[in-house]
Amino acid sequence: MELSGILYICASSLFILVGILHLTVHFKQLISLETKEKFSSIENIKVIKRNAQVWKLWKGMSLLFGVLLTVLGINNILSLLDLEKNSHPSILISITNVIVLIIIIYSGYKYFSKMQIYGGFLGLILFIISLLLSLN
């Protein structure tokens, strides 16, 4: 496998690692009774003309975030392994991954933490180098 494929797998593995870590934190801390109590003072909000409990929305989004990151990484690796021996990662999938990572970096800056920004930049650099190597 060429260097572009190795970098692509490393970047994709970061999605899987972060997804699994997030799911671990989700089940150990984020949906704890202590967290639920903190959400209990927040009133329901309207979502698509229905009242929704913020606590349920929080749990659902948190769970989906971990699952979707894990699946994204797995799909990336499977799509690469399905290619011929000397083929490069798909340019369109690589660009999509770059866009996803830019959004992750932005949301880390705007809403979350520096750890999300640093991880996003690491994945972004790996995917961009992989993409540039694929184009040569």
Query: DSSP state, 48?
Result: T
pTM: 0.84
Overall domain count for the chain: 1
The band of 56, judged by pLDDT with boundaries at 50, 70 and 90, is confident
pLDDT digits (tens, 9 = 90+) for 43-55: 888 888 888 888 8
- Cα separation of 64 and 129, whole Å? 29
Q: Which domain holds residue 128?
A: 3-135
Please compute, for residue 76, the number of CA atoms within 13 A of its CA located in the half-sphere on the CB side.
Answer: 31
Closest CA to 22 of 113, 122, 103, 93: 113
Share the mean pLDDT of the chain.
89
Reading the block at residue 115, the tokens are 């750890």
